[in-house]
């Protein structure tokens, strides 16, 4: 559970100056401290390991309270809660004169080869699993340290090259909702068959029975393979919805303009490319498939449609996420957000719904792309919640709705970015109208991000966004988008106004 963080927490700990010694306990007003000591002094040993504080607490209440008191009594607890002058002018966010939401970063990990994703396993271990495009998955512990041995190494199976910008490789990873007990997880990667046939493969694997930080390399069970007619637009997102089903996001097959067939792959419901697929991985079907079809998938009664299809009209959705929902009300819980990469003019952000047609190749963003398809009265497409032109960026990277505890000012904002321009953006929902308004995100200045460990810069090429088990937000970026080059970094967002 989250408790609301005081906007004056830095003052409570006398930490507004980054070069003051770190306090172990907040500043307590003298009267309150005396009462606290009388009733609760026994808990101090659980709050600090400072020998001076512990010894003083046991021997001398007056001296103890003087040690943890603040020179400025406006900020000591509980006075800080009662001062209207401190709270009357507080805003919800900090923006510069140009309306830019200023954030800072911490660098969590570096030296990664095109880190394409970070996910957690949802088992209360707070481990972070970071995947490199070449086929390695690494475990990072809660303290930020990386285990020496990879969780998974399928680099010998994964198809990728040293070509700059090659989109093929290890692309997706999702842990089963009951991973704690089942040890099952799912992967999405590119393969080459007989030296010439390219496919994407979705497989199930299991964790080792002997080591929770290592996959069982012999456990792979292939669920689905789809032929890829070109080297680009490979999709790659895997995620589990609140319904317990596995969602698979495929690209349109590549090249440009979805040139496959009369309507392209994306508008063709008998093709698996250019789709959002939904399958039940907790059983096998009667026709021998290693998964079942959810009984409410939308096109089961359409004779030629693939039963796996959940939504269509997708170009190349690059990074999707499930909204955890408002921490208090649950609003928004279960919504699936995606960034769909555009062709020549627009990038877009979508919310996925069952049976939805997201327009491609009839439309790109809000505009027509294929005039003939666009004018078809049966198109019935779902418009993006947001689209931006290529003067802003040329390859959207989908993000997350922030639902963490550490930066309450960001709560409810959908934060995402652009791979090519390196731009960070945020969308805020107007719940009454259902519309979304853009907020520019920028790095705070040197003074804003002056505390030790904070930085105000990042690599340009934003590959992916992520959240940890507590709901805190991260992103992965590189200075050189090459699958073999170790220039990738994992960053964590920090709101300096929290």
pLDDT tens digits, one per residue of 145-204: 999 999 999 999 999 999 999 999 999 999 999 999 999 999 999 999 999 999 999 999
Q: What is the pLDDT of residue 21?
A: 74
C-alpha–C-alpha distance, residues 412 and 477, integer Å = 23
Give the model's confidence band at 33: pLDDT under 50 very low, under 70 low, under 90 confident, else very high.
Answer: very high
CA distances from 384 to 167, 277, 340, 346 (A): 24, 19, 9, 11
Which tokens belong to 132?
A: 């490199």
- Domains located in the chain, CATH noted: 9-87 (no CATH), 119-408 (2.120.10.30)
Q: What is the pLDDT of residue 450?
A: 87
Nearest Cα neighbor of 495 from 465, 469, 472, 477 is: 472
The runs of H, that is alpha helices, within 13-88 are 30-40, 44-47, 51-59, 61-68, 79-82, 84-87
Which tokens belong to 386?
A: 């947001």
Q: What is the pLDDT of residue 127?
A: 98
pLDDT tens digits, one per residue of 240-278: 999 999 999 999 999 999 999 999 999 999 999 999 999
pLDDT at 4 over 60: no
Nearest Cα neighbor of 477 from 127, 118, 137, 189 is: 118
Helix (H) or strand (E) holding 372: helix 371-374
Q: What is the pLDDT of residue 83?
A: 73
Q: Looking up tokens 């992965």, which residue turns up? A: 476
* Contact criterion met (CB below 8 Å) for 309 and 297: yes
Torsion of CA 339, 343, 344, 345, to 10 degrees: -30
pLDDT at 96 over 70: no
Q: What is the pLDDT of residue 52?
A: 92
Q: What is the pLDDT of residue 300?
A: 97
Q: What is the pLDDT of residue 18?
A: 55
* Contact criterion met (CB below 8 Å) for 269 and 305: yes
Taking residues 421-428, what's their average pLDDT?
97
User: Integer distance in angstroms from the first to the last C-alpha of the chain?
Assistant: 18
Nearest Cα neighbor of 300 from 290, 288, 308 is: 308
C-alpha–C-alpha distance, residues 252 and 235, integer Å = 8
Q: What is the pLDDT of residue 1?
A: 35
**Looking at beta carbons, which pairs linking 182-188 to residues 24 or more positions away fall under 8 Å?**
182/206, 183/207, 183/209, 184/281, 185/121, 185/215, 186/223, 186/238, 186/246, 186/281, 187/152, 187/154, 187/238, 188/235, 188/236, 188/237, 188/238, 188/248
Peptide bond into 488 cis (omega under 30): no
* Contact criterion met (CB below 8 Å) for 452 and 434: no
pLDDT tens digits, one per residue of 207-250: 999 999 999 999 999 999 999 999 999 999 999 999 999 999 99
pLDDT at 97 over 60: no
Q: At what angle do helices 61-68 and 30-40 cross, to 10 degrees?
A: 130
Strand locations in 182-287 (E):
184-193, 197-206, 221-227, 237-240, 246-249, 275-279
Nearest Cα neighbor of 471 from 317, 333, 350, 276 is: 333
- In the 8-state DSSP scheme, what is residue 292? B
C-alpha–C-alpha distance, residues 369 and 49, integer Å = 64
Give the model's confidence band at 94: pLDDT under 50 very low, under 70 low, under 90 confident, else very high.
Answer: very low
Q: What is the pLDDT of residue 91?
A: 37
Taking residues 451-475, what's their average pLDDT?
96
Q: Which of 52-56, 81-85, 312-316 has the highest mean pLDDT?
A: 312-316
Helices (H) and strands (E) in the chain, counts: 9, 26
Other Cβ atoms within 10 Å of 78 Cβ, number: 10
Q: What is the pLDDT of residue 2?
A: 42
* Residues forming beta bridges with residue 396, ordered by sequence position: 418
Buried b (16+ CB within 10 A) or exposed e, 253-276: bbeeebebeebbbbbbbebbbbbb
Mean pLDDT of the chain: 93
* Burial class (CB within 10 angstroms; exposed 0-12, middle 13-18, buried 19+) of 393: buried
Residues 6+ apart with CB under 8 A from 347: 339, 340, 341, 365, 387, 388, 390, 392, 393, 394, 395, 396, 418
Q: What is the pLDDT of residue 287?
A: 83
């Amino acid at each position: 559970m989250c408790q609301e963080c005081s906007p004056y927490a830095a003052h409570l700990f006398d930490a507004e100056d980054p070069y003051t010694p770190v306090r172990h306990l907040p500043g307590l007003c003298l009267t309150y401290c005396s009462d606290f000591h009388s009733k609760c002094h026994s808990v101090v040993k659980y709050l600090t390991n400072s020998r001076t504080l512990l010894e003083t607490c046991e021997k001398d209440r007056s001296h103890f309270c003087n040690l943890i008191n603040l020179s400025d009594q406006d900020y000591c607890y509980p006075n800080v809660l009662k001062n209207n002058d401190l709270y009357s002018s507080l805003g919800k966010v900090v923006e510069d004169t140009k309306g830019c939401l200023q954030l800072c970063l911490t660098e969590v990990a570096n030296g990664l080869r095109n880190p394409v994703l970070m996910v957690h396993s949802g088992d209360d271990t707070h481990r972070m699993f970071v995947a490199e495009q070449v086929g390695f998955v690494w475990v990072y512990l809660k303290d930020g340290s990386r285990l020496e041995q990879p969780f998974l190494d399928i680099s010998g199976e994964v198809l990728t090259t040293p070509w700059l910008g090659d989109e093929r490789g290890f692309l997706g990873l999702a842990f089963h909702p009951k991973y704690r007990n089942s040890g099952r997880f799912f992967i999405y990667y590119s393969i080459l068959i007989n030296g010439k046939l390219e496919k994407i493969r979705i497989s199930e694997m299991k964790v080792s029975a002997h080591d929770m930080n290592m996959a069982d390399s012999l456990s792979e069970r292939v669920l689905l393979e789809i032929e890829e007619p070109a080297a680009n637009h490979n999709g790659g997102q895997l995620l589990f919805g609140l319904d317990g089903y596995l969602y698979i996001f495929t690209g349109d097959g590549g090249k440009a303009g979805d040139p496959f067939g009369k309507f392209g792959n994306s508008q063709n419901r008998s093709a698996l490319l250019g789709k959002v697929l939904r399958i039940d991985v907790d059983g096998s079907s009667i026709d021998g498939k290693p998964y079942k079809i959810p009984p409410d998938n939308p096109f089961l009664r359409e004779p030629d449609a693939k039963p796996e299809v959940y939504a269509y009209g997708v170009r190349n959705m690059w990074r999707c996420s499930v909204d955890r929902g408002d921490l208090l009300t649950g609003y928004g819980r279960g919504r699936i957000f995606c960034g769909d990469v555009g062709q020549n003019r627009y990038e877009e952000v979508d919310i996925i719904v069952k049976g939805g047609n997201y327009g491609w190749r009839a439309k790109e963003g809000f505009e027509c792309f294929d005039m003939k398809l666009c004018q078809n009265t049966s198109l019935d497409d779902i418009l993006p919640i947001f689209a931006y032109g290529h003067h802003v960026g040329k390859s959207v990277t989908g993000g997350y709705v922030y639902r963490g505890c550490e930066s309450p000012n960001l709560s409810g904002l959908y934060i995402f970015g652009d791979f090519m321009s390196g731009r960070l953006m945020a969308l805020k929902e107007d719940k009454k109208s259902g519309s979304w308004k853009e907020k520019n995100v920028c790095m705070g200045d040197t003074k804003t991000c002056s505390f030790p460990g904070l930085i105000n810069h990042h690599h340009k090429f934003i590959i992916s966004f992520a959240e940890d088990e507590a709901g805190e937000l991260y992103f992965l970026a590189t200075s050189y988008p090459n699958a073999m080059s170790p220039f990738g970094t994992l960053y964590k967002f920090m709101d300096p106004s929290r």
